[in-house]
Structure 1
Amino acid sequence: MSGAGVAIVTGGSRGIGRAIVERLYADGAEVVTCGRGDRPAYLPDDVVWVAADVARSGDAERLAETAAARGPVTLLVNNAGVLVAKTVADSTDDDWDLQVGVNCRGVFTTSRAVLPGMTAHGGVIVNVGSISGVVADGTSALYNASKAFVHALTRSIALDHGPMVRCNAVLPGWVETEMADSGFALSADPESARRDAVARHPLGRLGAPADIANAVAWLASDEASWMTGQCLTVDGGLTAASPIRPELS
């Protein structure tokens, strides 16, 4: 982590968020994390848990204030996200409110809450986007669009708030999380869908949450000090290949 200060990780209760919390904590960061439920049992005692829904401006501000009370917030990782697996035609207004509320408004409100302090003392924002914001997943229209928003907001924050603030996004591919399991479960044959997905990765496996946490830790470090406004794809090579693969036919 670049410099001394406090790191906020949204959505730190499981999956990629949990791995990011664990990595930053292992690196010596003072970590504040949040989620909509109860404090996870895995958290070390000195990691601060805030029950918060980042789609609500008041909760995002309270999260930022809790962190700032412990020291200057020098890192924000906007990881919280949800998946609504529907087409546009099938999506309801409630689906829109949930998907855009967490994935878009949550990144906006939390970034807005920390930017005044970061602009004064410096800091880094890392947003967790998705390859789905670049190459669309089927029956995930609102999710795909929400992640494209995250990528665009990343560039805007970098442009408007540099040089004091660096802002980048990491774009995971298929990672072994509950969200991925939910995606495979939509298939008529989930195990076959999983095998097909693995076969399409040049590295021969799905990602692990730690793979994304490692990328986040690098983007937050001084080693990435000349990198801002970028979207870093971490997908095991999935989007590097044409979908026409003779060995898969």
Structure 2
Amino acid sequence: MSSSLLPRVVIVTGASQGIGYAIAQTFLEQGDIVIGCAHSDVENAPLAGALLAHYPKRFFYYSVDVTETAQIAHFVSEAEARFGRIDVVISNAGKNVFRGIDCSESDWSHNFDLNLRSHWFLAKCARSALQKSRGVILVITSNHAFSTMPGCAPYNISKRALLSLVQSLTIEWGPDIRTVGIAPGFIDTEGNQAWFDSHSNPQAVREKTIKKHPVGRIGEPREVGELCLFLSSDKAGFIAGTTIVMDGGRSAVMQDEDDA
């Protein structure tokens, strides 16, 4: 697939807010066609609604529960039928399931259905179309795949498994399909702002979090979109089977001073 062939047809899951919305917006600004989905219907997804209004001929939105494999299959089928091709799949949908290692069986199952199985099944459904276009799969995981904190299981376990999914997709489906993982760290999304707001002094917690990052700030969703744009292009054609961490240097810190 040539990145100069525009517009490409790009699937983005979890496109209603946060990182997924920023990814969708970045590709739309590039001139691509984006078929997005999220659990919310469009009436409850104002950011997706704004993209629909601004890009009425190039952005399309579906309500999809990615824990339901039948819904994923229908979504991918609709996307391919609408345009006759799929060039890039950005498997982003997921959420924090921070319950601790003593979580309930239902939390464990929900986490793996959402944060692992959905990525695998989305790739399976899109495989035929991506083989025809010699396309790209980008899997959004997390820096929790590499190191984590108490109470973040079972989320971190599924995110670690996505590293192996990226490797297996690469070695079994290449060279027709190229697969790369992206592991964002602390990104300034609605979800993370809600976490700040859950504290008695949100601004103090934000400042403390920023100080833990050697670059002196937390990440912007747009930066993940720009990385996706690069990794899906021919300029990144020799990058495959690996997961790139973008966490502002946070993972380079052995321990925090106040943890010593």
Does the pair score TM above 0.5?
A: yes
How far 1:137 moved relative to its partner?
2.9
- List per-residue Cα deviations over 1:60-114 (Å, max 9, x = no partner): 111111111113101000000111221111x112212221111111101111100
Stretches of structure 1 that go unaligned for 5 or more consecutive residues are: none
Aligned pairs for 1:62-101 (under 5 A) are 62-69=74-81, 70-89=83-102, 91-101=103-113
The one-letter code sitting in structure 2 at the alignment partner of 1:198 is: I
Equivalent of 2:39 in 36, 41, 57: 36
Which residue pairs with 1:223 in the alignment? 235
CA distance 1:169–1:82, change in 2 (3 Å) = same
Contact 2:212 2:256 in 1 (8 A): no
The one-letter code sitting in structure 1 at the alignment partner of 2:188 is: E
CA distance in 1, matches of 2:68, 2:228: 25
CA distance in 2, matches of 1:101, 1:184: 27
Contact 1:54 1:109 in 2 (8 A): no
Which residue pairs with 1:233 in the alignment? 245
Secondary structure at the residue paired with 2:118?
helix
How far 1:178 moved relative to its partner?
2.5
CA RMSD of aligned residues (A): 2.0
The one-letter code sitting in structure 2 at the alignment partner of 1:214 is: E
The one-letter code sitting in structure 2 at the alignment partner of 1:218 is: F
TM-score of the superposition, structure 1-length normalised?
Answer: 0.92
The structure 1 segments of at least 4 consecutive aligned residues displaced by more than 6 Å after TM superposition are none
The one-letter code sitting in structure 1 at the alignment partner of 2:144 is: S
Aligned pairs for 1:186-225 (under 5 A) are 190-225=202-237
TM-score of the superposition, structure 2-length normalised?
Answer: 0.89
Stretches of structure 2 that go unaligned for 5 or more consecutive residues are: 43-47
Contact 1:175 1:209 in 2 (8 A): yes
Contact 1:25 1:31 in 2 (8 A): yes
Which residue pairs with 1:12 in the alignment? 15
- List per-residue Cα deviations over 1:130-178 (Å, max 9, x = no partner): 1011111331111101111111101110111100111001110100112
Which residue pairs with 2:123 in the alignment? 111
Aligned residues: 247
The one-letter code sitting in structure 1 at the alignment partner of 2:100 is: T
Secondary structure at the residue paired with 1:141?
coil
CA distance in 1, matches of 2:195, 2:220: 16
